[in-house]
Amino acid sequence: MIEIRGLTKSFHKHKVLDHIDLTIQKGDVVAVIGSSGAGKSTLLRSINLLEVPDEGTIKIDELTVDITRRSKADVLELRKSTAMVFQQFNLFRQKTALENVMEGLIVVKKIPKEQACQIAAGQLARVGLSDKVHYYPKQLSGGQQQRVAIARALAMQPKILLFDEPTSALDPELVGEVLDTIKKAAEEGNTMLLVSHEMNFVRKVATRVLFLDQGVIVEDGTPNEVFSKPKSERTKQFLANYYRDQEPEFAI
C-alpha cells in the first residue's frame, strides 16, 4: 500500500502541490488528469524524489519517508520501490534494448549478469519485442522504444509504476501498441499511477481517477463517477473542453 500525506512543493513561492493526501492500494490503477501546469508531473516526480518536495511523508509498504528528515538510505529505498516511464522514453542510446532492461537489474538490484539477461529477455518478450532485443533505440520506432521503457520498468518489480504521459510523444498510429502494453501490465495486477490525456483509455483501464487542479486533488472516484458525474465545476469544464476538442466520433 502507498500512503502519501501532506505532500507539498513550491517553485519560487508558487505552490505546485498543496498538501496532497493519497492512498493507493495494491493493484490499483490510478489515473491523474488535469490541465497543463496542474502539478501532475510534479506529483509523480515527488513520489520517487526526482523532485524533492518541501514537506510530506511517503509510505510504501513498510518504508516510511518523512521528506524533511530523509536519509540517503530512505531515498535509495524509495527509488527502488518505484519505476517511472517518461514521455520521452529516456533509454540509453548507446545500449541495446536488452542492455537497457538489464541495466537497473545489475546496477540497482545487484542481480548477476546472466540472470539479469534472462529476466530482461523475458520482459521484452512480454511486451512483444523478442525479435528486437539486440536493436539500439535509434533502430526502433517510438512505440517500440516506449515498450522497451515499460519492460525496463516492469523488470524492476517496483511497488508502484509511475507513467507520465507515456504516449504523448508518439505518432498517433503508435499510441495503440503502447496503451495495449500498459493495459496488459494493469491486468497483471501491477500498481500504477498514470498521468494521461487519453481519456478513453483512462475510462477503460483505470480503477480510480483523480482530477488535479492547482496542486489540489479536487476529484477522486471511479472512472464512471468522475467522467459521468463530476462534482467540481473545474472538472466539468476540463472534460467539456477535452471532448469538444476531440474528433466527433470520440466525443461522448
Ligand X SMILES: Nc1ncnc2c1ncn2[C@@H]1O[C@H](COP(=O)(O)OP(=O)(O)OP(=O)(O)O)[C@@H](O)[C@H]1O
Q: How far apart are CA 143 and CA 89, in angstroms?
A: 9
Which partner in Mg ion, ligand X, none is near 16 (CB below 5 to 8 A by kind)?
A: ligand X
* 36 sits near ligand X (criterion: CB under 6 A): yes
Q: Does 39 bind ligand X (CB under 6 A)?
A: yes
* 9 in Cβ contact with 51 (< 8 Å): yes
Rounded Cα–Cα distance for residues 121 and 3 (Å):
33
- Quick note: the x/- pattern for Mg ion over 154-193, rule CB under 5 A, is ----------------------------------------
x/- site string to ligand X, residues 41 to 60, per CB under 6 A? xx------------------
Q: Is 230 helix (H, G, I), strand (E, B) or coil?
A: coil
Q: Which residue is nearest to Mg ion (CB)?
A: 41
**Single residue of 40, 152, 208, 234 touching ligand X by CB under 6 A:** 40
Min dist CB 10 to ligand X, Å, is 9
Least distance CB 17 / ligand X (angstroms): 8
Does residue 41 bind Mg ion (CB under 5 A)? yes
Between CA 235 and CA 32 the distance in angstroms is: 12
- What are 14's strand-pairing partners? 11
Q: State in angstroms the smallest separation of the CB of 11 from ligand X.
A: 3
Positive/negative CA dihedral, 210, 1, 157, 105: positive
By CB under 6 A, is residue 245 in contact with ligand X?
Answer: no
7 forms beta bridges with 20
The span from the CA of 231 to the CA of 3, in Å, is: 24
Residues in contact with ligand X by the rule CB under 6 A:
11, 16, 34, 36-42
